[in-house]
Amino acid sequence: MRAHARIVATMVALALASCSTAVTRRAPAPSTERVAEADLIAAVTRCFHDHGLDAIASIAIEADGDRITLARAAGHREPQRATRRRAVELAETVPGVRIATWTERDRSR
Amino acid sequence: MTGPTGSRPRRWPWIVAALSATALATWLWGIPALLAAIMADAVEAEWGDRVTVDRASWNLGRRITLHGLDVYDEATGRPFATCTRAIAELERSPAGGDPGLLLDLVLEGCTLVGGDDTLATVHRVHYHREGDAPARLAFDGVHAALVPSEIDRWIGAVTRIVSAPGIAPDGGGPLMRAIDVRRTRIEVSFAGTEVRVPVGQLSARIRPTAAKALAIEFVRARAFDGDLTASGDVDWSGRLDYRVQAHLRGIDVNAVGTALGLGAASRGHASAFLALRAPHDPQHGGNPVGSGWVAGTDVRVWDAPLFAAILGTLGLEGTDDDTLEHVDGKVRFDHGRLWLVELIAQGQPVSLFCNGSLALADGALDLGVVPRVAGGRGVSDLPLVGEPTQAILDVVAGTAIQLRIAGRIGEPDVAVQPLSIITEPMRAFFALIRGERSGN
């Protein structure tokens, strides 16, 4: 019974997901590299949001192709090491991100 | 000549009166006018822009008050900033180190102009500079209207402010320390649409990072009854470039509905993120490009014209209890349009899957929506759907519908279109499932 319920749930999800291949008016590919980089930054922050990393406002994110650089946002305190590590781990799970690194800013900023 | 009694008339009272009147006139009009001219020249020499002052007064101490201060744009010959009153306090710097000049300037009732329009009004501006140390500037009580496609006018106004004393023309001098903005209200609108996004209680720090670059930090505000945090930077050393990242939490969908015309009975909560960049391509019409996402819970928007039209086409009605339990999707600003990318809204009385866009120039919609009706609800007889309450069966049977939505948010035009079979792998998968169920 559980297996059938799981199959039904999967089919419903697939049915919804399969709509994406059929619905027209899909967004075209990003027109420029900076749009593609913004896509990546948005995806990383969404990953943070979904995993409860409540530090989006205090983390500055930059994208250069498939490389993501994380740093504390200017004026914010440097996050704890565990937070920095978690942010890098999550960022590297995002499709399209090849490598994520954390950069420490100088204290004057 | 002699009088009736033979005594000579006294002239000195008249002379004294004339001298007194002259002195009074000089004090009331002459000195202030002279002082106004002196101060205007001084400010011009310091700021490099043509300045006019209607009237000035001096308290015989450290304070000079200027009334009706206008700063002109050399290129256009028009004022780009006006001020009702400016109060300047000057004194020698406190003892210690090289003596310099301490200038504390308060401007009240200011207006910032860009082109032919008023960009902002400012209740109070405070400028403080001590000797050769970097200056500080604070804006309090700013009310402004911002159209993203016209952001270059704002950049022009801000660059003129930043190029105030504290930054050498060649970039070799000390930069202004910071520009603080407090108690600010901005209304963001998109040309050609009815969208109005009020952003209130905004505070931020603008910090010059180079002669022609700024960092925008500590942005805090309230938008859609939620908390907005943001940061960004601007660089105009070459082609204008900027980037902004903004995060919104605890958005009230009803507040969004009011701003976008979605209907007064909307409710729900959402979070959103946007990363925007300067377009660097004329095809975008000056609008920023970028990406973001939106995530909502318990959203009810069935009274909004767009969603009411969708329900009407499907022959459904939304009750007060019907909500979209989860709304998730990506957004993108590109090609001069706002794109919805794989927006999924799951709930009652219908789930929706959406792709499409809205033109930023005129708000024209171009959306494709695939509905999935919840089980047990009555629907009108739409022959293309077959058995619409059985979502899986209508996919297996090879038919599905798409709603094509054109028009505008407030006046949508909904049409039903058939879709071809979705994918061959899906057919094979369902055939496999059917086979397992029948024991084959």
Residues 259-318, chain B, touching A (beta carbon < 8 A): 271, 273-277, 280-281, 283-284, 289-293, 295
Cα separation of B222 and B219, whole Å?
Answer: 10
A8 touches chain B (CB under 8 A): yes
Does this model's pTM top 0.90? My answer is no
How close B381 comes to chain A (CA, Å)?
22
- Strand, helix or coil for residue B347: strand
Listed as ranges, residues in chain B with pLDDT below 50 are 1-4, 6, 96-98, 166-169, 375-399, 420-421, 426, 429-430, 433, 436-440
Alpha-carbon dihedral angle through residues B53, B59, B61, B63, given to the nearest 10 degrees: -40
Q: Which residues pair with B198 in a beta bridge?
A: B187
pLDDT grade, residue A69 (50/70/90)? very high
**Residue-level pLDDT at A89:** 95
Chain B neighbors of A25, CB-CB under 8 A: 355-357, 366-368
Cα separation of B315 and B216, whole Å?
Answer: 50
Beta pairing, strands B289-300 & A67-72:
unpaired
How close B227 comes to chain A (CA, Å)?
11
Nearest C-alpha neighbor of B207 from the set B196, B216, B219: B216
Residues B343/B327, Cβ–Cβ less than 8 Å: yes
For residue A57 the two structure tokens come to 């406002």
ipTM value for the complex = 0.79
Helices A33-50 and A81-91: angle between axes, nearest 10 degrees: 120
Chain B neighbors of A42, CB-CB under 8 A: 273-275, 290-293, 330
Residue A77 has pLDDT above 90, yes or no: no
B395 touches chain A (CB under 8 A): yes
Q: Which residues, including other chains, have CB under 8 Å from residue B30's CB and lie 6 or more apart? A: none
Nearest to B353 among A23, A34, A57 (CB): A23
**Residue-level pLDDT at B185:** 93
* End-to-end alpha carbon distance in chain A: 59
Nearest C-alpha neighbor of B266 from the set B226, B303, B306: B303
Q: DSSP labels for B410-424?
A: SSEEEEEEEE----H
**Residue-level pLDDT at A74:** 75
Residues 409-438, chain B, touching A (beta carbon < 8 A): 419-420, 422-423, 426, 429-430, 433
How close A19 comes to chain B (CA, Å)?
7
Chain A neighbors of B374, CB-CB under 8 A: none
> 10 Å Cβ neighbour count for B15?
10
A11-37 confidence digits (pLDDT tens): 555 555 555 444 457 788 888 888 999
How close A81 comes to chain B (CA, Å)?
23
**Residue-level pLDDT at B72:** 84
Q: Is the dihedral of CA B159, B165, B169, B170 positive or negative?
A: negative
- Strand, helix or coil for residue B95: coil
B213 touches chain A (CB under 8 A): no
Omega before A30 cis (within 30°)?
A: no
Which chain A residue lies closest to B371 (C-alpha atoms)? A16
Type of residue found at A80: Q
Q: Which residues, including other chains, have CB under 8 Å from residue B182's CB and lie 6 or more apart? A: B138, B139, B140, B141, B203
- Tokens 């050393």 label which residue? B237
Nearest to B395 among A15, A30, A61 (CB): A15
Cα separation of B244 and B234, whole Å?
Answer: 9
- Tokens 């205007």 label which residue? B40
Residues 67-86, chain A, touching B (beta carbon < 8 A): 73-75
Nearest C-alpha neighbor of B196 from the set B187, B204, B205, B185: B187
Angle at CA of residue B272, ends B268 and B275, nearest 5°:
165
B248-296 confidence digits (pLDDT tens): 999 999 888 887 766 667 889 999 999 999 887 766 666 788 999 999 9
Chain B neighbors of A24, CB-CB under 8 A: 355, 368, 402
B258 touches chain A (CB under 8 A): no
Which chain B residue lies closest to A18 (C-alpha atoms)? B422
Which chain A residue lies closest to B352 (C-alpha atoms)? A16
**Residue-level pLDDT at B366:** 92
For residue B99 the two structure tokens come to 């003596």
Cα separation of A101 and B245, whole Å?
Answer: 19
Residue A63 has pLDDT above 50, yes or no: yes
How close A38 comes to chain B (CA, Å)?
5
Cα separation of A101 and B94, whole Å?
Answer: 47
Q: Name the phi and psi angles at B380, rounded to 5.
A: -75, 165
To test the contact with chain B by mutation, choose from A23, A24, A59 the residue with the greatest count of B C-beta atoms within 10 A, namely: A23
Cα separation of B222 and B251, whole Å?
Answer: 9
